[in-house]
Amino acid sequence: ATSSPTKIALIGCGNISNAYFEGCKNYDNIEIVACADINIPHAQATAAKHGLAFGGSVDELLARPDIEIVVNLTIPAAHADVNRRALAAGKHVYCEKPFTLTSAESAAVVADATRLGLRIGSAPDTFL
């Protein structure tokens, strides 16, 4: 029996999101099902461009029970906050570089993930 793909959502619909939309097409065990952005009309346009049923606010995305992993593509200054909010919502997190801006922020994110039993990761470089 085959299992259904892991449901992924992107937060941050800037230029780098296109690399994730395209790259994820190469794998049958993951599926991007939603995207969100602080600019909701941009999130809606990005969702339409990529055939997603949902493009909207970060809060709405984090409330979705079907999302297992959040890919954080926001601006670096927002990484720690978005990482922590996603973890608090019960989602695993993969963050574009840099993971956070300070070691204290990184320690807080790691502590949250450990306490909640969730996984976190960060991109070593865009092409990976």
Q: What gap in Å lies between CA 54 and CA 78, rounded to an integer?
A: 22
Nearest Cα neighbor of 71 from 33, 111, 102 is 33
User: Residue 92, class by beta-carbon neighbours within 10 Å (0-12 exposed, 13-18 middle, 19+ buried)?
Assistant: buried
Q: Collapsing DSSP states into helix, strand and coil, what is residue 87? A: helix
| Pairing mode of beta strands 120-122, 92-95 | parallel
Q: Give the model confidence (pLDDT) of 41-52 as tens digits.
A: 999 999 999 999
Q: Give the model confidence (pLDDT) of 99-122 as tens digits.
A: 999 999 999 999 999 999 999 999
Q: How confident is the model at residue 128 (pLDDT cuts 50, 70, 90)?
A: very low
Q: Give the model confidence (pLDDT) of 28-80 as tens digits.
A: 999 999 999 999 999 999 999 999 988 999 999 999 999 999 999 999 999 99
CB within 8 A of 111, min separation 6: which ones? none
